[in-house]
A and B are shown apart, each in its own frame.
Chain A
C-alpha cells in the first residue's frame, strides 16, 4: 500500500487520543494507589481496633498505630510479619478473642520476640497476604504445619505436625514435654529399633543404608515415588516426603525394591511418628542463645546400663558385645533375629574362623564358603565391620562362651 499524501492530516484525532488515554492512565493510577493502600493486613488491623474498642476499654485503642508489625531476627536471618494480622499474640488478656487476634498460648520458656513465629509454625514470614504468609502458594518450601496440614493427613491431633519443627532444635533432647509423637519416635529408635546398625546417624552407624543425619533436608526430587504413587493417590494421602517416609517405615521393600531393611512391624501411629522424626532432622544453624537448655543431657543409655568398672574378661566381653552393636542382630540363646543365635557357636566353629568373622566379616562374606552360606541364609543383610583388636575378639568369644 502506497500512502497517499492527499489525505488531510488531522491533529484533532491525536488530541482526543491523548485526552482519552490520559484519563485511562489516571484511572489505572488511582487503581494502583487503591490496591497499595487497601492492603489485606490493614483490613485486619482496622477490625482489631474495632474489636478492642468494643470488648476492651476504649482508651487502650487511642495509641494503636496502623502499620506493618514485624519481628526481625538478624541472627536467624528471618523476619516474621505475622504480628501484622495476629495482633493480640502478646496480650494475655485476649485469650478469648477470635482469630487472628487471639493471644498466643503460653509457651514459656520460649520467647517469641527472640524466636519469631515461622521457626516453629512454618509459613512465609516475609509475606503480608494471608495465603502467601501461610505458605499456601507454589514455590514456597515451608508450609504452615498447622490444622489444615494435619487435616490433609487425617491426623486427629491438629497440633501434632508442629512437633517436627520443635525437634529441629530439640533434637538432642531425650524427651521433651509437648512433643508426644516425637518422643514416641525417639523411644522407638533408642530402645526398640537399632537403626544405626545399617544407617549412619550423627557420624556413627552402618553402611547398608543411607546417612540419615540430615534426611529432613533431602528434597523430594531425590526420592523414588514410583512404587507408592498410585497407592498414595488411591488412599487420598498427599504425594509428599512425609508420606514417603511413612510408607517406607511400614514396608520398606515395597517402596525401595532393593532395600535390605527388614519389615519392622510398626503400627501406623509409630510409622507416622518416625516419619515426623525424619522430617525434623535438618541441618539448621542454631544461634547459641537459642540452644535448648536440656541439650547437655545425652540420650538415655540402653537397657543394659552404663559402662562402669570392668573386672572379668567376660564382663569386658559383654561391654564390647553390646557397645559394638553385636546385640542389635545377635542374641545368645534367645533365637535367631537379624543374625544367627550365637549360643554355643564356639563349639560349632573354629576359634580362628570366629575371630576372623568378628574382625573382618565383610571380607569373610566374600571369600569364606561358610560365611557366604550364612550371608545368603540371612537375607544377604551382611554383618558390618567393627574395629576390634584380636584381644577384643577373644573377650567377646569368652563372653559368648559364658552362656550355657
Chain B
C-alpha cells in the first residue's frame, strides 16, 4: 500500500525534484506552469538581497487582485444607480465580501508601491543596460498600466471619491493640447460624467487593462530568458571566455552558432555550471511559492485589520472638501494644483503642466536614460556601484521629490487645498444634523 502511494506521489511530483539535467529540462518544458523557466538558473539570482524579489512580489499581488477581482465581479453592478449599493451589499451581506473587497484594495495599493520599488531596484542595479533596455521599456509600460488599473478601479464604487477623481482625471486629459477635448469626450462617453463613463471604465478595468498587463507580463518574462537571466548574471559572462565544445561526429546538427574549420564545432559562452547554478525546478519554484505565501499573508492581514473605506454616494453638485486622490496620485494632484503659470497674457493651466508635461517628461527621461548611462560594464547587476554614484543620486533625488510631494498632499493639505501644518486644526465642516 505504502509503495503504491509513494509511486503515485512520485508520478505527481517528479518535475519537482529532477534527478539529472535532462530531467530538469524536461520538467520545465513539459509543465505548463513552469515552462517559462530555464532549466538551470544562476544561484545569485535567487538571492533575497539582490532583487528583493520585488518583481515577483508585484506579480503575486496581481494574482491576488485577479482572484479577488473575479469573485467581486459576480457581485458588483456597474450601473450608476446600483454600483454604490452593490458595494454596500458586498460589505454587509455577501459572505466574506468585506474580506474580498479589503484584500483587493490593499493588494492594489501594495502593487503600485511594489512596482515602483521594483523600478527603483532595477535602476540602482543598472539592470536596464544593453539589450535589457527592451525589458526596461516593457517594465515602464507595465507600471503605467498598473497605475491606470488602479485609477479605473477606485472609480467603480461610484462614491464621492470616484466621481470627483474621474472629474479631475478627465480634466487633466482635457488639458492635452489640440486633442484633449476629444480624448475627454471618448473617455467619458459624452460631455458629462455618467453611466457611459462608468461602463467604459468598468470595461477598461476588468478586461482591457488586465489583458494588456498580462500580455506585457508575458513579454517581460520572455525578455528575461532572452537577455540571459537577471542582470547579476552578466558579470559571470564578463569573466568567462568562450570555450569550444567538441561535437559528436556521428550526429548532424542545424547550427545557430558559429562554425569554424572543416568539422562541425559549437562555440558557446555557456556560463552556468554545477558550481554557480541550480535547477530552476524545484528551487526557483519554491522561492516563488514563498513570495506568494508572504503576499497572501500580508494582504490578508492588512484586510483583516484595515477595512476598505467608502465615501458618500456620488453627488455631482457637491465637491467634497477636501477632495483628495489616493496617496500614489497625490504627488500629481499637488503638481496640478500648484503649477498654473502666467506668462504675460497667457495662462497655462496646471492640468497641462503638472498633469501631462511633468509626468510626460519623467517618462521620457526614463526612456532615454539607458542611452545616457555611460558607466562601465562592471556596474551591471551591482547595487550602488561607485561609477554610477552621480546618476544614482539624481534618480534618488527625483524619487525623493515625488515622495515629499506625496507627504505634503497627504498630511499638509486641507480644505480648499490650503496648507495646514500638522498641528493646525482644519476648519470643521458642518454636517446635516
Contacts and interface: CB of A to CB of B under 8 A. Distances in A.
Max chain B Cβ within 10 angstroms of own Cβ: one of A35, A142, A219, A242: A219
Interface string A196-228: 000000000000000000000001111101000
Given A9-B283, A18-B289, A221 B321 contact: yes
Contacts of B81: 77
Interface stretch (A26-34, A329-337, A354-362): A26-34
Given A1-B383, A127-B92, A140-B312, A31 B304 contact: yes
User: Is the interface on chain A under 10, 10 to 19, 20 to 34, or 35 or more residues?
Assistant: 35 or more
A313 interface: no
A128 B297 CA distance: 27
A21 B95 CA distance: 25
A29 B300 contact: yes
Contacts of B290: 14, 17-18, 21
Interface string B405-432: 0000000000000000000000011111
A225 B430 contact: yes
A63 interface: no
A239 B431 CA distance: 7
Interface in B38-67: 43-44, 46-47, 49-50
A145 interface: yes
Interface in B135-157: none
A265 to B, nearest CB: 26
A24 B293 CA distance: 9
Contacts, number: 119
A322 to B, nearest CB: 38
Nearest to A3: B44
Interface residues of B, number: 51
B297 A143 contact: no
B286 to A, nearest CB: 5
A177 interface: no
Contacts of B44: 3, 5
Interface in A2-19: 2-3, 5, 7, 9, 11, 14-15, 17-18
A89 interface: no
A36 B286 CA distance: 32
Contacts of B429: 220-221
Contact of A36 (B96, B428, B431): B96
B431 A9 contact: no
Interface stretch (B254-262, B274-282, B332-340): B274-282
Given A3-B47, A5-B44, A31-B304, A68 B432 contact: no
A96 B424 CA distance: 50
Contact of B286 (A3, A18, A24, A220): A18
B264 interface: no
B289 A220 contact: no
Contacts of A161: 433
A25 interface: yes
A9 B85 CA distance: 53
B346 interface: no
A95 to B, nearest CB: 29
Given A2-B382, A18-B286, A145-B433, A128 B278 contact: no
Specify which of B43, B89, B96 lies most central, judged by the most chain A CB atoms within 10 Å of its CB: B43
Contacts of A22: 293
A149 B433 contact: yes
Interface in B82-141: 85, 88-89, 92-93, 95-96, 99
A372 B159 CA distance: 52
Interface in B229-288: 232, 235, 275-276, 278, 282-283, 286-287
Nearest to A222: B318
Contact of B301 (A28, A140, A152): A28
A68 B95 CA distance: 11
Contact of A240 (B92, B99, B287, B430): B430
B430 A25 contact: no
B311 interface: yes
B43 A5 contact: yes
A219 B318 contact: yes
A139 B310 contact: yes
A126 B88 contact: yes
A90 interface: no
A25 B296 CA distance: 8
Given A2-B235, A21-B293, 19 more contacts: A1-B382, A2-B382, A3-B50, A9-B43, A11-B286, A17-B290, A25-B293, A25-B297, A36-B95, A36-B96, A139-B309, A139-B312, A143-B432, A219-B318, A220-B431, A221-B321, A233-B428, A238-B431, A240-B430
Interface of B: 43-44, 46-47, 49-50, 81, 85, 88-89, 92-93, 95-96, 99, 159-160, 232, 235, 275-276, 278, 282-283, 286-287, 289-290, 293-294, 296-297, 300-301, 304, 309-312, 315, 318-319, 321, 382-383, 428-433
4 smallest CB-CB distances across A and B, nearest first, come from A3-B44, A5-B276, A220-B430, A21-B293
